Amino acid sequence: MVQSKLNFCFCTLAFGNVYRALAKELVQDLEKYAPGIPVVLFTDKPRDFKTYKNAIVFNHKRHGILLFHERRFAIAKALSMANSCVYLDADVRICAPVPTNIKWLPGITARSCASMNKRFRSRLAVGDSPRPDIVKILQVYKKMAEKIGVNSEDDRTIWINEFLFVVTKDSGRELEFLGYWERLALYADLNGLHKHPAYAIGLAAVKAGFPIRHDEMEGFDFFDDRIEKVRIKNGQSDPAAKQKYFETQEKVEQRYRSLPHKVMDKIMQPLCHHYHTARLQITTSLTDFDFYHR
């Protein structure tokens, strides 16, 4: 009953040795810098987190082919407990106390986002001819838009960088948004668009009338290795300021990406991919053949 009165909580997804190890660092950060605010965590091995009192842990079996869209389940659960949820990738770190009095506006608040159409135009304009992978993404994106009756040229469609964003309830529109994301996630997976949930998120938000807005999120001092490298390159961050976070992440990755682990991954990844592809083809054929396969 207490959880339903929360202003916000955190949530994340942690699958595999590397991301579970990194998620432990994140959970400890949140325990230190956001005491009393729970983190909803969906994982393939809940027992790895049994000692963390601030973590509400759920065992999760993937519904899609890869795991990029699976974060929607953690978000849905978090929204059943709080008015807003702050989604963080498992490899993000929190570096300072988090303000607890933030009132997020209804919809999605993204730390980084851009116009979907402008993003496509800029990526297609690079080089002498459009990159085949970007052309393929655009083709699938247009089919996704058509499937749910959204104009793919709609300027309201926003691409978000999904490493850090907030979802806030909006009179039930959040449930519509999650429902459309579900359908588009599976459709994207079936059509080879495994790693880019932002395309489904943007289309689902437009269809549900669920607003997306940008916010610098002042007061959220975070570390993401990709973002930090860009900041350092642009002279926006002292290279030494967050060196310890780089070192911790590198140690975790080296530990689980040794030669034996790499060999096992090379064997298992194709097998897992074929299994989950076949499973998804069967389940979607049985649930809604026209939507997913025509």
Tens of pLDDT, residue by residue over 67-106, are: 999 999 999 999 999 999 999 999 999 999 999 888 899 9
Tokens of 80: 């059943």
pLDDT surpassing 60 at residue 3: no
pLDDT surpassing 50 at residue 4: no
Residue 103's pLDDT is 87
Residue 2's pLDDT is 36
pLDDT surpassing 90 at residue 20: yes
Q: Which domains are delineated in the chain?
A: 3-229+256-293 (3.90.550)
Using CA atoms, how far residue 276 sits from 194, 279, 282, 286, 287, in Å, is 12, 5, 10, 15, 16
Mean pLDDT score, 238-260: 90
Tokens of 238: 């002292």
pLDDT surpassing 90 at residue 263: no
pLDDT surpassing 60 at residue 286: yes
What is the percentage of the chain residues whose pLDDT exceeds 90?
Answer: 87
pLDDT surpassing 90 at residue 266: no
pLDDT surpassing 60 at residue 1: no
Residue 106's pLDDT is 98
CA dist., res. 271 & res. 279, Å (int): 12
CB neighbour class for 206 (10 Å; exposed up to 12, middle 13-18, buried from 19): buried
Q: Confidence class of residue 12 from pLDDT cuts 50, 70 and 90?
A: very high
CA dist., res. 234 & res. 14, Å (int): 30
Residue 189's pLDDT is 97
